[in-house]
Amino acid sequence: MTLQIRSDNIIPAITGGVFDFATIVDTPTDIISSSPAYILATFMIENEIGSVTNPSSNLDWPLFISREPKKPANCITIFDTIPVKQFRYMSTGKVFENYGLQLRIRCNNYVDGWTKLEQINSTLDTLKNELVVVDLNEYIIQNVTRTSGVVSLGADVDSPELRIYTSNLIMTMKKQI
Protein backbone atom coordinates (compact mmCIF):
# COMPACT_ATOMS: atom_id res chain seq x y z
CA MET A 1 0.00 0.00 0.00
CA THR A 2 1.34 3.41 -0.98
CA LEU A 3 0.43 6.46 1.02
CA GLN A 4 -0.14 9.46 -1.21
CA ILE A 5 0.02 12.83 0.48
CA ARG A 6 -0.50 15.88 -1.68
CA SER A 7 0.98 19.23 -0.70
CA ASP A 8 -2.50 20.57 0.01
CA ASN A 9 -3.31 17.94 2.63
CA ILE A 10 -0.06 17.08 4.42
CA ILE A 11 -0.78 19.17 7.53
CA PRO A 12 -4.25 17.67 8.12
CA ALA A 13 -2.81 14.22 7.47
CA ILE A 14 -0.04 14.67 10.04
CA THR A 15 -2.21 16.36 12.69
CA GLY A 16 -5.28 14.16 12.35
CA GLY A 17 -7.33 17.05 11.04
CA VAL A 18 -6.63 19.48 13.90
CA PHE A 19 -4.95 21.87 11.46
CA ASP A 20 -6.19 22.38 7.94
CA PHE A 21 -4.89 24.92 5.44
CA ALA A 22 -8.32 25.10 3.85
CA THR A 23 -9.50 26.98 6.95
CA ILE A 24 -6.49 29.30 7.24
CA VAL A 25 -6.80 32.67 5.55
CA ASP A 26 -3.55 34.28 4.43
CA THR A 27 -4.70 37.88 4.54
CA PRO A 28 -4.20 40.65 7.10
CA THR A 29 -7.78 40.11 8.31
CA ASP A 30 -6.76 36.95 10.18
CA ILE A 31 -4.39 38.84 12.51
CA ILE A 32 -5.52 38.50 16.10
CA SER A 33 -6.74 41.72 17.67
CA SER A 34 -6.51 40.70 21.35
CA SER A 35 -3.65 39.20 23.32
CA PRO A 36 -3.61 35.40 23.56
CA ALA A 37 -3.72 35.72 27.37
CA TYR A 38 -6.88 37.81 27.13
CA ILE A 39 -8.46 35.33 24.72
CA LEU A 40 -7.69 32.31 26.90
CA ALA A 41 -8.74 34.16 30.07
CA THR A 42 -12.08 35.01 28.48
CA PHE A 43 -12.59 31.37 27.55
CA MET A 44 -11.60 30.14 31.03
CA ILE A 45 -13.98 32.55 32.79
CA GLU A 46 -16.90 31.85 30.45
CA ASN A 47 -16.46 28.09 30.83
CA GLU A 48 -15.57 28.19 34.55
CA ILE A 49 -12.33 26.26 34.00
CA GLY A 50 -10.83 25.70 37.43
CA SER A 51 -13.75 27.68 38.91
CA VAL A 52 -11.99 30.92 37.92
CA THR A 53 -14.05 34.08 38.10
CA ASN A 54 -14.12 37.55 36.62
CA PRO A 55 -12.28 39.92 38.98
CA SER A 56 -15.20 42.37 38.87
CA SER A 57 -17.46 39.75 40.50
CA ASN A 58 -15.46 39.77 43.78
CA LEU A 59 -15.82 35.97 44.00
CA ASP A 60 -13.17 33.36 44.83
CA TRP A 61 -10.31 32.70 42.41
CA PRO A 62 -10.40 35.81 40.20
CA LEU A 63 -8.40 35.52 36.97
CA PHE A 64 -6.25 38.56 36.19
CA ILE A 65 -4.42 39.30 32.95
CA SER A 66 -0.78 40.37 32.96
CA ARG A 67 -0.96 42.09 36.36
CA GLU A 68 -1.32 40.46 39.73
CA PRO A 69 -2.73 42.79 42.40
CA LYS A 70 -1.71 42.54 46.06
CA LYS A 71 -5.21 41.31 47.01
CA PRO A 72 -7.01 38.95 47.09
CA ALA A 73 -4.66 36.31 48.48
CA ASN A 74 -6.04 33.50 46.31
CA CYS A 75 -5.89 34.52 42.67
CA ILE A 76 -4.76 33.44 39.23
CA THR A 77 -2.90 35.55 36.70
CA ILE A 78 -2.26 34.72 33.06
CA PHE A 79 0.67 36.25 31.18
CA ASP A 80 1.63 36.36 27.51
CA THR A 81 5.12 34.92 27.02
CA ILE A 82 7.36 34.15 24.06
CA PRO A 83 5.56 32.56 21.08
CA VAL A 84 7.03 29.56 19.30
CA LYS A 85 7.42 29.89 15.54
CA GLN A 86 6.17 26.71 13.89
CA PHE A 87 6.70 27.36 10.20
CA ARG A 88 6.37 29.86 7.38
CA TYR A 89 3.94 29.21 4.54
CA MET A 90 6.24 29.56 1.54
CA SER A 91 3.69 30.77 -1.02
CA THR A 92 2.58 33.75 1.09
CA GLY A 93 5.35 34.23 3.65
CA LYS A 94 2.81 33.99 6.49
CA VAL A 95 4.39 32.87 9.74
CA PHE A 96 2.49 30.44 11.98
CA GLU A 97 3.13 30.65 15.70
CA ASN A 98 1.96 28.96 18.82
CA TYR A 99 1.36 31.55 21.53
CA GLY A 100 3.28 31.29 24.80
CA LEU A 101 1.39 31.72 28.06
CA GLN A 102 2.10 31.39 31.75
CA LEU A 103 -0.45 30.67 34.45
CA ARG A 104 0.48 31.86 37.92
CA ILE A 105 -1.42 31.03 41.08
CA ARG A 106 -1.00 32.75 44.41
CA CYS A 107 -2.59 30.94 47.32
CA ASN A 108 -2.61 30.92 51.12
CA ASN A 109 -2.54 27.11 51.25
CA TYR A 110 0.21 25.01 49.71
CA VAL A 111 -1.94 22.01 48.76
CA ASP A 112 -4.86 24.10 47.47
CA GLY A 113 -2.61 26.11 45.13
CA TRP A 114 -0.92 23.04 43.69
CA THR A 115 -4.24 21.24 43.26
CA LYS A 116 -5.94 24.25 41.64
CA LEU A 117 -3.22 24.66 39.00
CA GLU A 118 -3.11 20.93 38.30
CA GLN A 119 -6.91 20.94 37.86
CA ILE A 120 -6.71 23.86 35.41
CA ASN A 121 -3.86 22.26 33.46
CA SER A 122 -5.74 18.96 33.18
CA THR A 123 -8.81 20.72 31.81
CA LEU A 124 -6.79 22.80 29.33
CA ASP A 125 -5.15 19.58 28.11
CA THR A 126 -8.54 18.43 26.79
CA LEU A 127 -9.38 21.52 24.68
CA LYS A 128 -9.84 20.97 20.97
CA ASN A 129 -11.21 23.56 18.53
CA GLU A 130 -13.11 25.62 21.10
CA LEU A 131 -14.89 28.81 20.01
CA VAL A 132 -14.47 32.00 22.04
CA VAL A 133 -15.76 35.48 21.19
CA VAL A 134 -13.66 38.43 22.31
CA ASP A 135 -14.61 42.00 21.41
CA LEU A 136 -16.88 40.80 18.57
CA ASN A 137 -14.07 38.67 17.08
CA GLU A 138 -14.39 34.90 16.94
CA TYR A 139 -11.35 32.75 17.70
CA ILE A 140 -10.87 29.02 17.64
CA ILE A 141 -8.59 27.73 20.38
CA GLN A 142 -7.27 24.68 18.59
CA ASN A 143 -5.39 23.33 21.58
CA VAL A 144 -3.42 24.23 24.68
CA THR A 145 -0.27 22.25 25.45
CA ARG A 146 1.69 22.29 28.68
CA THR A 147 5.40 22.88 28.34
CA SER A 148 5.84 22.34 32.06
CA GLY A 149 4.00 20.81 34.93
CA VAL A 150 3.16 22.73 38.09
CA VAL A 151 6.24 24.55 39.41
CA SER A 152 6.34 25.80 42.98
CA LEU A 153 8.17 29.12 43.28
CA GLY A 154 7.93 29.15 47.07
CA ALA A 155 6.76 32.08 49.17
CA ASP A 156 5.54 35.40 47.76
CA VAL A 157 8.21 38.05 48.35
CA ASP A 158 5.73 40.65 49.63
CA SER A 159 3.56 38.21 51.61
CA PRO A 160 5.61 35.22 52.85
CA GLU A 161 2.46 33.43 54.07
CA LEU A 162 1.34 33.06 50.44
CA ARG A 163 2.66 30.46 47.99
CA ILE A 164 3.28 30.92 44.26
CA TYR A 165 2.91 28.29 41.51
CA THR A 166 3.34 28.57 37.76
CA SER A 167 2.78 26.50 34.68
CA ASN A 168 3.90 27.29 31.12
CA LEU A 169 1.65 26.68 28.13
CA ILE A 170 1.61 26.91 24.37
CA MET A 171 -1.71 27.76 22.69
CA THR A 172 -2.56 27.24 19.05
CA MET A 173 -5.46 29.34 17.82
CA LYS A 174 -6.79 31.14 14.81
CA LYS A 175 -9.14 34.02 14.18
CA GLN A 176 -12.36 33.12 12.39
CA ILE A 177 -12.98 35.15 9.26
* 67: CATH: 3.30.2000.30
Residue 62 per-residue DSSP state: B
Q: What pLDDT does 30 receive? A: 66
Q: Could you tell me if residue 100 is inside a domain? A: yes
Whole-structure pTM value: 0.81
Q: What pLDDT does 13 receive? A: 47
Q: What pLDDT does 92 receive? A: 83
- The residue segments making up the domain with residue 79 are 33-175
Q: Could you tell me if residue 82 is inside a domain? A: yes
Q: Could you tell me if residue 164 is inside a domain? A: yes
Q: What pLDDT does 7 receive? A: 46
Q: What pLDDT does 93 receive? A: 83
Q: Indicate the number of domains in the chain.
A: 1
pLDDT in tens, the chain (177 residues): 444 444 444 444 445 444 444 444 444 456 788 999 999 999 999 999 999 999 999 999 999 999 999 999 999 999 999 988 888 888 888 888 899 999 999 999 999 999 999 999 999 999 999 999 999 999 999 999 999 999 999 999 989 999 999 999 999 999 987
Q: Could you tell me if residue 17 is inside a domain? A: no
Q: Could you tell me if residue 27 is inside a domain? A: no
Q: What pLDDT does 167 receive? A: 97
Q: Could you tell me if residue 15 is inside a domain? A: no
Q: Could you tell me if residue 16 is inside a domain? A: no
Alpha-carbon span 23 to 173, nearest angstrom: 12
Q: What pLDDT does 176 receive? A: 87
Q: Could you tell me if residue 13 is inside a domain? A: no
Q: What pLDDT does 146 receive? A: 94
Q: What pLDDT does 75 receive? A: 96
CA distances from 88 to 8, 85, 93, 95 (A): 15, 8, 6, 4
Selection from 10, 148, 177, 170 nearest residue 85 by Cα: 170
